[in-house]
Amino acid sequence: MLEPNPHAPSVAESLSRVHVIGGRKTPPAEGRTFDVISPVTRRKLAEAAFGTAEDVGRAVASAGTAQKEWAKKSARERGKLVAECGRLLEKHDEELARLVCLETGKAVRTEGRPEAAALADIFNFFGGLGSEIKGQTVPFRPQQLTFTLREPVGVVGAIIPWNVPMMLLALKVCPALVAGNAVVVKAAEEAPFAVLRVAEICAQILPPGVFNLLAGHGPECGAPLARHPDVAKISFTGSVETGRIVNRIAAEKLIPATLELGGKSPMIVMADCDLDKAVEGAVTGMRFSRCGQSCSASSRIFVQAAIHDAFVEKLKARVDNMRMGDPFDQVTDIGTIVSEAQFEKVQNYIRLGEAEEGVTVLRCSALPADPRLAGGLYIQPVLFTGISRDSPLAREEIFGPVACIFKFETLEEALAAANDTRFGLAATLWTKDMKTALAGAHRLEAGFVQVNQNRVVQAGLSYGGYKDSGLGKEATLESMLAHYTREKTVMLNME
């Protein structure tokens, strides 16, 4: 049972101490490596290449050369190749699902497989959009032909986090490639292997150099990537703090940046809702199966007074039924937190909440009983009620399985409280009343508002935050055109 998949550790081993540059496994220029630790065993899984400015230089040079030829292909042909990658990745879905769980501690049934499926889906989606990279004609004067072109920006730098690394990679790499750019990705230090494997698989289909992947740390590898003079666009997903650093670099260079940052998403539950559906929505919204490690986690739940206690009771019972355990066990719903740093961060918030006066702390589910998992970074899902709306737990992104539940009386009060945050990534509202639903949809300050459902980001749905949650959108045709092409106006005078 504890044996992940004899395959996954050997795949990780095969990608140890390398980047993927120019379509080939390439050792780090300075020969340095760092340990990637399993959050389940807390032992070293494998060593990853410690990328430095020199590796960034090599990858960007490779991308720059490859991009010139890549851009000469028709957009439709590029799309065809990206879709072909999608089909090949689909064939490796189980391997990739297990690999990402090996390094992140996520459960393979509830998280690894859905992520592998989303990865292939995003490649397929963008692969079909090649023909849509088109400009406009402008009826300026009869003797003048005026039109716009959508051209690639050149080499795109992408910096990704560890929570859903393959999916977040695809949301950047696919639109960039289809639009005619080459990409250099910097993986998160916690989870380099699944995305290295994705790059290695894609190298069987794509021309060498259009998709490069570097392992390494943020300041030593991510920052030099953003700073590199030949990187013409930067796309980042991660914390607000690092997003600001990256955006400052982009501002200095006068290049565009797309930023997908954190969240503290509200969920408003009206008394007239379908209670069971709302409870289920809180479970998926909070991403308890991913230990709450989601930027859009519904971590502030506002429940109308009349149903507050019933909601809390049902939610507690529902989460109690989730099983924490070995990520590779088919019955496991919840695996581990990704790293000791995240584990400590989340535990600190929980301790802070427990120390607040008048709070109720409901610990759900149960830590795994198997003694072989005793060292794993498991945290029981926690529901807090009675917490102050000014508490750091209610205001800051915890990125762990911690939900704060608040009681409210009126919709006005709930909307004001929901919007009283520096974040604005997602929001949900639960009601059977159409007027309430529409009022909420208009007034919730978030980039993604859902009524009576709580689905995750999908190819084809515009995704991106308001306020501190980010700049720019991802996952659609329009976002590909806006963020991965530049527009040229052409006027041909025939007078």
The span of 100-108, 183-191, 320-328, 371-379 binding ligand NAI (CB under 6 A) equals 183-191
474 as an active site residue: the answer is yes
The yes or no reply on residue 399 touching ligand NAI (CB under 6 A) is: yes
DSSP string, 182-222: EEEEE--TT--HHHHHHHHHHTTTSPTTSEEEE---IIIII
For residue 335, state whether it binds ligand NAI (rule: CB under 6 A).
Answer: no
Q: Which of 397, 445, 468, 474 binds ligand NAI (CB under 6 A)?
A: 397
The candidate with the shortest Cα–Cα distance to 423, out of 289, 296, 334, 304, is 296
Q: What are the E-state strand segments in 116-201?
A: 137-141, 144-152, 155-159, 182-186
Work out which of 103, 189, 200, 333 binds ligand NAI, going by CB under 6 A.
189
Output the smallest distance, CB 292 to ligand NAI, in A.
10
Inter-CA distances, 112 with 74, 125, 175, 289, Å: 34, 20, 23, 11
- To the nearest whole angstrom, how small is the minimum distance from the Cβ of residue 165 to ligand NAI? 9
Rg (C-alpha) for the chain, rounded Å, is 23
At closest approach, how far in Å is the CB of 213 from ligand NAI? 12
Rule CB under 6 A: say whether 395 interacts with ligand NAI: no
Q: Distance between CA 197 and CA 247 in Å, rounded?
A: 28
CA distances to 12, 339, 446 from 335, rounded to whole Å, are: 19, 12, 29
Contact pattern from residue 231 through residue 250 relative to ligand NAI, giving x for each residue in contact according to CB under 6 A and a dash for the rest: ------xxx--x--xx----
Is 295 a residue of the active site? yes
Number of residues that bind ligand NAI (CB under 6 A): 27
3-class secondary structure, 92: coil
Output the CA angle 389-392-395, nearest 5 degrees: 60
Residue among 329 and 445 whose Cβ is closer to ligand NAI: 445
Q: Give the residue with the Cβ less far from ligand NAI, 222 or 440.
A: 222
Residue 465 lies near ligand NAI (rule: CB under 6 A): no
Q: Could you say whether residue 345 binds ligand NAI (CB under 6 A)?
A: yes
Q: Is 80 in the site for ligand NAI (CB under 6 A)?
A: no
Q: What angle do CA 191, 87, 129 make, to 5 degrees?
A: 95
Site residues (CB under 6 A) for ligand NAI, limited to 141-160 = 159-160
> Closest separation between CB of residue 117 and ligand NAI, Å?
19
User: Which positions ≥6 away from 286 have C-beta within 8 Å?
Assistant: 292, 297, 298, 299, 381, 401, 403
- As a whole number of angstroms, the distance between CA 235 and CA 213 comes to 14
Task: Determine which residue in the list 209, 262, 327, 381 makes contact with ligand NAI, applying CB under 6 A.
Answer: 262
Is 172 known to be catalytic?
A: yes
Q: Active site residue: 103, 115, 172, 273, which one?
A: 172
Catalytic-role residue among 174, 295, 364, 404: 295
Binding residues among 284-303 for ligand NAI as defined by CB under 6 A: 295
9/238 with CB nearer ligand NAI? 238
Provide φ and ψ at 233, rounded to 5°. -160, 145
**Distance from C-alpha of 64 to C-alpha of 41, rounded to nearest angstrom:** 41
Active-site position among 190, 260, 396, 445: 260
Closest to ligand NAI by CB, 331 vs 341, is 341
Q: Is 396 a catalytic site residue?
A: no
Question: How many angstroms separate the CA atoms of 190 and 426, rounded?
Answer: 26
The answer to whether the beta carbons of residues 109 and 332 sit under 8 Å apart is: yes
Task: Tell me which residues touch ligand NAI (CB under 6 A).
Answer: 159-161, 163, 186, 188-189, 217-219, 222-223, 226, 237-239, 242, 245-246, 260-262, 295, 342, 345, 397, 399
Residues with active-site annotation: 172, 260, 295, 474
